[in-house]
Amino acid sequence: MNFISERNSLGHLVVKDVPIFVECARGETSFSQEWIREAVTKARLAEAEGYLPPLHVRHHGDKEPVRAAGFFRITKTESIKFKGKTKLAIFADLTITDPEVDSEVLTARLPYRSVEIFDVDLPAIDSLALLDHEAPYLELPMLMVSEPWNNSEEQGAVV
């Protein structure tokens, strides 16, 4: 499965409608449909005020440093098949602002992703980590990205 991508007006890679989270349980914590809906509502309110959460390479707190990659915008919730069951998922558009990360995404060197949630009692997707080899908790479809349909190089970018 390849995700559709495009270039925005600044030439940044935007990967469209990527599932980033799905209802699940982790330990004693249940990330229910209600939790997901609250997190999405919070994200939409923040976006209305001009805020989009960060996208980065690797998780905060890992041994290797985190690299800024861009930001993401939650686009929708939708039911998907996950581990043979129908589950509610959160989808997002990923805007890659770092040219090196752009290249890594397009060449499938960052195929995994994992959300960061600061406080499970306050529903929110606080940031999103792109991962190269670390197995994410949620085994969502790998981030395989088609070349942008409106690649600025093909159109002759304005300098």
142: region left, alpha or beta (phi > 0 left; psi from -120 to 50 alpha): beta
pLDDT of residue 149: 75
Low-confidence ranges of the chain (pLDDT < 70): 1, 152-159
Residue 55 token pair: 């996208």
Residue type present at position 37: R
pLDDT of residue 1: 67
pLDDT of residue 87: 98
pLDDT of residue 159: 40
pLDDT of residue 62: 73
pLDDT of residue 155: 45
pLDDT of residue 157: 44
> Which residues of the chain form beta strands (DSSP E)?
5-7, 13-22, 24-26, 29-31, 54-57, 67-82, 85-96, 112-116, 127-131
For residue 158, give every residue at least 6 positions away whose Cβ sits within 8 Å of its Cβ, in sequence order, or none. none
pLDDT of residue 148: 87
